[in-house]
Amino acid sequence: MKNFRDLKVWEKAHELTLKVYSATSTFRKKSYMVSQARFDDAAPSIAANIAEGCGRRGNGEFHRFLQIASGSASELDCHLLLANDLKFLKQPQYQELSKELLEVRRMLTGLIVKAEAERGQRTVNTSQNV
């Protein structure tokens, strides 16, 4: 079991969530596609899935939840793009949030690759002991 608070990617995802909440607090409630609730699901799911993966046993479970977090990051990217196209976000807000999301996605990808490599090493070590 890992402590999610020790992971820089979790910290960045958490900070991004706070910024998304702030930026979307003024969205019109009438728009289903870009409602605040949509962002309130996608943004915190990134950090929450990283945290949940840390609380699970084994690297396989950790890897699986990192993949889910990556999917949530893609979902948030889509929502941000739509909000920008509909002019719900000002261009500087959109650019800042997109830049930070890209950084989180890159960090997640690196951690996923690392977790995959560790899983592969354990599989090789286990099969060699047979």
Beta strands (DSSP E) in 21-116 are none
Domain range for 115 is 4-128
**Would you say 36 and 113 are in contact if contact means Cβ atoms under 8 Å apart?**
no
Residues in the chain: 130
- The CA distance from 109 to 113, in Å, is 6
Burial of 38 (0-12, 13-18, 19+ CB in 10 A): buried
pLDDT in tens, 29-42: 646 555 655 766 88
Number of domains in the chain: 1
CATH number, domain containing residue 54: 1.20.1440.60
Confidence of residue 126 (pLDDT cuts 50, 70, 90): very low
Rounded mean pLDDT of 63-89? 93
pTM: 0.84
